[in-house]
Amino acid sequence: MKLAVRIPFAELLGLELVRFDCDEAQIALQLRDELCNSWSVAHGGVTMTLLDVVMAHAARSPSEDGTVDSSGVVTIEMKTSFMRPGEGRLLATARRLHRTASLAFCEAKVVGGDGKLVAQATGTFKYMRALAVGGRRIRRLNASD
């Protein structure tokens, strides 16, 4: 399944949306050689990107009545802990712990193809309708735009 919004970098990596439910999201990535470090395991940046994107999806996941906010989210802060090397098909699961009018607080984990915990993270995300860049305001386009 395609991601809920178009993220060119996530498309380049090959991230696949598995689940997008109320307060939760799940994204998978089949590890390829070009996404590995010199030890032939998932590069830390790939793992962190997977955690970041899955938490952002949880942050903007549907409310209990099924509606999805059209706001985009940007990462305000993220803390990641690595437990073991990532190998095989990586599966990231995130949930929104709390939401205010402008912020979402999330947590996520990544398991490797063997089902063992690779990394976990917490993050804070800000809801935004537009982003000021280079003296201009740009609006995020939805995947259908």
The pLDDT assigned to 145 comes to 40
Could you tell me which residues come within 8 angstroms of residue 54 by beta carbon, excluding any fewer than 6 positions away?
Answer: 25, 26, 27, 92, 93, 94, 108
The pLDDT assigned to 63 comes to 82
Instruction: Please state, in angstroms and rounded to a whole number, the distance separating the CA atoms of residues 73 and 92.
Output: 18
Lowest mean per-residue pLDDT among 23-27, 39-43, 80-84, 126-130: 126-130
Q: Give the pLDDT band of residue 43 (cuts 50, 70, 90).
A: very high
Judge whether residue 138 has pLDDT over 70. Answer: no
Judge whether residue 37 has pLDDT over 80. Answer: yes
| Averaged pLDDT of the chain | 91
* pLDDT, tens only, 64-96: 887 777 788 999 999 999 999 999 999 999 999
Contact (CB, 8 A) for 143 and 17: no
Q: Give the pLDDT band of residue 129 (cuts 50, 70, 90).
A: confident
Judge whether residue 143 has pLDDT over 60. Answer: no
The pLDDT assigned to 23 comes to 95
Helix (H) or strand (E) holding 52: helix 44-59
